[in-house]
Amino acid sequence: MTVAYELEFETYRPQLYVVPDPSGRTAPSPRVRRRRIALGAVVVALLALLALPIRSLGGSTLAQAGPAQGQEYIVKVGDTLASIANRADPAHAASLTGQIARETGTSLVVPGEHIFIP
């Protein structure tokens, strides 16, 4: 053996060939395909419902609920002590306004202020 032959032998690599796909995997049946489509439609519908605000469905959230007695209320723009008391207890709004004023120490409210409704 010559040196050139030995170098050629060492660089020899086997040829690669394509292996065919195993035929064991077939396309899903029409029944399975229909189930997947139905499941996808249900998931899309649920995601669409979650994206909608609850208010558009007729419900209300705690942030939109009016003040109630024994609860802390966050003052919004345009609120006054009288309007807060009127929404909390329309029958006793005048006395509740005085109670809230005594509780806060002032008759002025600032948006974002947390007020306890007695």
pLDDT in tens, 4-63: 555 555 566 667 778 777 666 678 889 999 999 999 999 999 988 887 766 555 555 555
- Tokens standing for 114? 């947390």
Start-end of H helices in the chain: 3-10, 30-51, 81-88, 93-104
pLDDT at 63: 54
pLDDT at 16: 74
In angstroms, rounded to a whole number, what is the distance separating the alpha carbons of residues 5 and 41?
A: 67
Tell me what percent of the chain is helix, strand and coil, each rounded to the nearest 5. 50, 5, 45
Torsion of CA 90, 93, 99, 100, to 10 degrees: 70
Q: Is the pTM of this model over 0.75?
A: no
Tokens 């009016």 -> residue: 66
Q: What angle do CA 92, 97, 101 make, to 5 degrees?
A: 150
- Tokens standing for 27? 């396309």
Under 8 Å between Cβ of 117 and 68: yes
pLDDT in tens, 88-112: 888 888 898 999 999 888 888 988 8
pLDDT at 89: 84
In angstroms, rounded to a whole number, what is the distance separating the alpha carbons of residues 68 and 57?
A: 23
pLDDT at 44: 94
